[in-house]
Structure 1
Amino acid sequence: MNDNTIDPRLKASILSEALPYIQRFFDKTIVIKYGGNAMTDPHLKACFAQDVVLLKLVGMNPVVVHGGGPQIENLLQRVGKKGEFIQGMRVTDAETMDVVEMVLGGQVNKEIVHLINQHGGKAVGLTGKDGGGFIRARKLYMRMPGKDEDLIDLGQVGEITRIDPSIISFLDSGDFIPVIAPIGVGEDGQTYNINADVVAGKVAEVLRAEKLVLLTNTPGVLDKAGNLLTGLTPSLIDQLVADGTLSGGMLPKIASALEAAKNGVRSVHIIDGRVEHALLLEILTDHGVGTMIRAE
């Protein structure tokens, strides 16, 4: 629909609906995990950038943490490597880590920064190695379900040990929008690939964010019949994992979302990044567009 065909009174009604949300979230931090189709479809990319810039202009503090799975996969294929995943985590040998760092810290991060700046924002790109290594990590070992003694070596995949929020707070205070690639650094200088959902959740916790919003390629969390679950609690999540409803890449997403909800993030949302202006619909209107996770 062309904007010119919308009744001006409807436009005014839409704008007035946003007012209480703008007031409620003024000067609050909103951490956004950016991934999926929203990162690859040109129109959705433009919608995302516009949404982030608008949130900043009305007084909120958006912080973007991005993935880049499809872009990493494309480059791996070009160099003749096949991606491997265990429980939603990418197995990362030294060669794969070079590709991950090149794609996430370079290509994807710079593109998102440029996109936001193109739409009137002031974005600054970071990896966890910047700012004196603001995302500290150590090697992650996966445990097989029910077999705690069996550890799986995923290569240069990291788990977060500490996040120093000072560089993000400094950028926020200067009206900049931080755009963070999920790469961490160990005490020995080793570089680690970290799941972007996990980084987004931990960043939200450390910043005491009002909201954590995870963009996905589904309407939200679905039950076995494909119906949207609009609200999730820890006990329901346990049931969904046990019966296989939640698996693969949704596992780290749900785990980080639940952890954030338990550790002080006011609300956590998994929303459909394929919907135009999904961020604005979730944050500035009465109509949510996904699943909300809350601690019991």
Structure 2
Amino acid sequence: MAAQMEKSQAMKRDSIATARMLSEALPHIQRHDGSIIVIKLGGHAMSSPDAMASFARDIVMMHQCNLKPVIVHGGGPMINAMLEKLEIPTEFKDGKRISTPETVEVVEMVLSGTVNKTIVQAINDQGGRAVGLSGKDAKLLVCDQAEGGLGLVGAPKKVNAGVITAMLDGGFIPVIAPLGAGEQGQTFNVNGDTAAGAIAGGLDADRLLLLTDVAGVKDGEGDVLTNLSAEQVHAMTQSGVISGGMIPKTQTALDAISNGVRAVVILDGRADNACLLELFTDHGAGSMIRA
């Protein structure tokens, strides 16, 4: 009997805490009402069906609260697995894959096919209305060939965002594979973060959320910094505090901000409900970078 009473009291405390959390989320929901939120999906959130289902529930929750989520996804591990399965050799330069025509054919097949439709299905299974497309559709991402001798890697130069805004106005959730079209009809492989940043800028998004496998931008002591200005990011990069794989992510953030995005958040996609924590709570879930 005592155990049952204790369990009942615990459930009541949990219910009260849940109700309080929902009530406290109201001003944040009102603040983001109607806002476009671009989310770069990768890493842990794509690692298992459970993680994908949790992410999809968050996206549908955002949509139900009248936010307008736009998903841009990666898929590096899946591409590597398919290249290995097809016994297609991969060349690297400075640790980056060289995108040959044969490689890009596989990249398009994996990203626009298996990966994109898996995400679309996960969102639809949670009651959303997701539609998959790539940066080639309606010439969404027009690219030049990126410098650096990496082959058919695209550098976005123009975003034709009309196809996305039409979907958003129709109540759909766009899920975008990071491919681009060249002026001569070439297919370009585009870095997922770069594509997300360009699309966020083209949409004048309120937020760009970069889901990663780290907690955010850290200072010299290893502590996560929750709020940063563009000037601070520049200084930390020059001093070496920001280094390695965090450099391209913060550069994506700076580029997006310069193109009109209100704020960029680098956050840990391994955390449960990371997007909801960032958007609908006071403490957030990562490092926010503003102009």
1:287 matches 2:267: no
Q: Give, in whole Å, the separation in 2 of the partners of 1:294 and 1:26.
A: 20
Show the counterpart of 2:146.
140
- The alignment's C-alpha RMSD in Å is 1.9
Which protein has the bigger strand share?
A: 1
Amino acid corresponding to residue 133 of structure 2 in structure 1 = L
Per the alignment, do residues 83 and 232 of structure 1 end up closer, same or farther by CA in structure 2, a change over 3 Å counting? farther
Confirm or deny that 1:31 pairs with 2:42: no
- Structure 2: state its 5+ residue gaps: 1-9
TM-score, normalization by structure 1: 0.89
The structural deviation recorded for 1:243 is 4.3
What is the aligned length?
A: 281
Aligned-partner residue type, residue 267 of structure 1? A
The yes-or-no answer on 1:264 pairing with 2:280 is: no
Match of 1:12 among 19, 29, 34: 19
Distance 1:6 1:111, change over 3 A: farther
Q: TM-score, normalised by structure 2?
A: 0.91
Any gaps of 5 or more consecutive residues in structure 1? Answer: 142-151
Distance 1:178 1:4 in 2: 38
Query: Which one-letter code corresponds to 1:12 in the other structure?
Result: A
Supply the distance in 1 between the matched residues of 2:274 and 2:126 (Cα, whole angstroms): 17
Relative contact order, higher structure (CA 8 A, sep 6+): 1
CA contact (8 A) 2:142 2:157 kept: yes
Rate the CA distance shift 1:284–1:179 in 2: closer, same or farther, 3 A.
Answer: same
**Partner residue in 2 for 1:172:** 168
- Residue in 1 that maps onto 2:231: 235
Residue aligning to 1:200: 196
Q: Distance in 1 between matches of 2:64 and 2:278?
A: 17
> In the aligned structure 2, how far is the partner of 1:103 from the partner of 1:123?
18
Q: What is the one-letter code of the residue matched to 1:9? A: I
1:44 maps to 2:59: no
Contact 2:112 2:133 in 1 (8 A): yes
Q: 1:107 aligns with which of 109, 114, 123?
A: 114
Q: Which has the higher helix share?
A: 2
Q: Could you tell me whether the CA contact under 8 Å between 1:220 and 1:271 is conserved in 2?
A: yes
Q: Greater CA radius of gyration, 1 or 2? A: 2
Q: Say which SS state the counterpart of residue 221 (structure 1) adopts.
A: coil
CA contact (8 A) 1:76 1:83 kept: no
Three-state SS of the structure 2 residue aligned to 1:109 is helix
